[in-house]
Chains A and B, each alone.
Chain A
Amino acid sequence: MTTTWAQRRKDRIDDLAGGRSLTSEALRRLRRDPVALTGGVIIGLFVLVAAFAPLLAPHGPAETFPQLQQDLRPGNIPGPTAGFPLGSDQLGRDFLSRMILASQQTLLVGVLATLIGLAVGIVIGTVAGAFGGWVDTLLMRITDVLLAIPSLLLAISVAALAASPSQTTVIIAVAIVGVPIFARLLRGSMLAQRNSDHVVAATALGVKRPAVVLRHMLPNAIGPVIVQATLTLATAILDAAALSFLGLGDADPGRAEWGLMLAQAQTYLDVRPALAFLPAFAIIAVALGFTLLGESLREALDPKGRR
């Protein structure tokens, strides 16, 4: 019988499984998983470029160049020339610099939005899962309502509240979309912990309630939430791009961000497709990277996968 690709991948991951903690074993499995490695390499590169963006980019994001602008007219945006390897954008700025610098803003928006959503979601989920009763019912009804609004519609309605769109409103709008998802997920796995043996044992030993919740329940319940957060990083970046496309994006011309660049480049798709394609591929690669990482993390943390 021939071994399939998936089987070989599984064998490779399971090879070293033994008597270890779930976390350390999950890490081992991740390191040996080609899917996780692919995601990790993409995200690693992305973070590296973002971290050193100001050093890598030859010019500023808002800097315009007369030698590029003189060839700028409707139906013509100058392509690569000496000193400008990727050519000009629609306003005579260095496209390469903007592509590099945008990695920083895109990462910032994605990570901040996810972290804020995660923080609020964890608080709600912990409180609901730990207290139960009417607190739980009330909080879960509220998350139900937030979940009842299709996610982009929710982000739009939050972003539309701002007098003028800015990076902050984009981050908040995208963050709110994640809150009910994180809260629900954490509450579910907290509830599963409530009557488990180690929690009962800790309570019987006289450990105070807050300590039981924070030290014994939360660490054991957070796994699925972390997986979800990794996946949410991908949707956060895509949602931010969608908001930009609808005119609710960061309006600051001094910043470059892939979503906004993509949204603005749609008009020039037949003049210089690269203006749309490069940011689009960057977004797709990053969203794919986070998704691969999240999916393999989910598999690695699944106790059912252990031998």
Chain B
Amino acid sequence: MLRFVLRRLLQVIPTLLLLSLLVFAWLRALPGGPASAFLGDRATPEAIAALNRQLGLDQPIFIQYGQFLGRILSGDFGASTITGQPVLAEIGRALPATVELSLAALLIAVLLGIPLGYLAASRRGGPLDVSTIMGTLVGVAVPVFFLGYLLKAFFAVQLRWFPPSGRQAVGIDATDVTGLAVLDGLLTREWDASWDALLHLVLPAVTLATIPLAVIVRITRASVLDVMGSDFVRTANSKGLAPGTVRGRHVLRNALLPVSTTIGLQVGLLLAGAVLTEKVFVWGGIGTLLADAITLKDYPRLQALLLLGALVYVLVNLLVDLSYAIIDPRVRLT
């Protein structure tokens, strides 16, 4: 087990190194080079020359890459050209909002997706199955931002069930503990703040959950069907085990293995979806930072978000792989 963990950890290193090389090359491909891109509107020839010296851009390319790596490893991603603040600090402030949104979306997708996929599989070919499959196909075909606006127009503007945007109503004075507004309200027993945060969370979370939900339903369904057709399930059934036992102990446990891998892969989708969802609902998280950075050509911020986004994705999938090895001993042997 330890060898598996170590090997898997070592595999991540070349990926991350190549990633840094890619981002380094990306910086060089920026219009006008990194210095003028980083300075934005403040790019005078003198300022460019000064920044070139400061960033070491007058040095040979290998040394430049070394310095680039050094800066990144020490957490120096430069300052945002919009706000002038260190990018990493900005990301740190925006992170809890996105984490809360993504967790809520993932929770919806998993809690709804696995039972739905299982039900569809166990009634294969029935009306529930066919309509579920059709639903997942349509679900991934709807542009995320359009769905967001649709939900907002109907449930927030028309019916007024939920607030249309933001994370907190005016007049709510919430104490900040973890940055996850719903949780904070519960921890500090500020029930009204927690309820208000939850209401704000519903529409964005549902929007963001659609695509992961569709994927999880389909994988669960396929995986359950696969396991149901296997020999050990037939054996278990012919042994006369209660159907509930076979379903829970044999089918579901084995069918959930591929599903757990898929859940890890959803993190990438969530990050991408968050950019669109947060823009629709003015959420103020990482996605909003990214959307603003695109509009205003804030390259230091884009660079940091690109690197950190990929880093998170790689690490989450590493964790999924490792947990997979714990759940399923067969993985370790191969």
Contact = CB atoms under 8 A, between A and B. Distances in A.
A245 B153 contact: no
Interface in A51-96: none
Contact of B15 (A6, A148, A269): A148
B104 interface: no
B313 A148 contact: yes
B18 A276 contact: no
A5 B291 contact: no
Contact residue range for chain A? 35 or more
A151 B309 CA distance: 11
A119 interface: no
Contacts of B115: none
A148 B271 contact: no
Contacts of B142: 280, 284
A112 interface: no
Contacts of B129: 6
Interface stretch (A102-110, A128-136, A185-193, A285-293): A285-293
A153 B302 CA distance: 10
B143 A262 contact: yes
B126 A288 contact: no
Interface string B277-315: 001100000000011001101010010011001100110
Contacts of A270: 153, 157
Contacts of B275: 152-153, 156, 246
B126 A160 contact: no
Where chain A touches its partner, the secondary structure class is helix
A269 B153 contact: yes
Given A245-B145, A288-B137, A150 B269 contact: yes
Interface stretch (A197-205, A211-219, A221-229, A234-242): A234-242
Nearest to A258: B143
Contact of A148 (B19, B145, B294): B19
A288 B297 CA distance: 34
Given A4-B125, A6-B125, A248-B294, A149 B143 contact: no
A216 B314 CA distance: 36
Nearest to B211: A238
Contacts of B130: 5-6
A150 B309 contact: yes
Interface in B110-168: 124-127, 129-130, 137-138, 140-146, 149, 153, 157
A142 B30 CA distance: 21
Contacts of B138: 284, 288
Contacts of A276: 146, 149
B145 A288 contact: no
A149 B124 contact: no
A247 B272 contact: no
A6 B271 contact: no
B330 to A, nearest CB: 20
Contacts of A259: 143
A266 B145 contact: yes
B26 interface: yes
B271 A242 contact: no
A101 interface: no
A41 to B, nearest CB: 15
6 contacts: A5-B130, A6-B124, A148-B314, A246-B291, A280-B146, A288-B137
Interface of B: 14-15, 18-19, 22, 26, 29-31, 124-127, 129-130, 137-138, 140-146, 149, 153, 157, 267-269, 271-273, 275-276, 279-280, 290-291, 294-295, 297, 299, 302, 305-306, 309-310, 313-314
Interface of A: 4-7, 141-142, 144-145, 148-153, 156-157, 160-163, 234, 238, 241-242, 245-248, 259, 262-263, 266, 269-270, 273, 276, 280, 283-285, 287-288, 291-292, 295
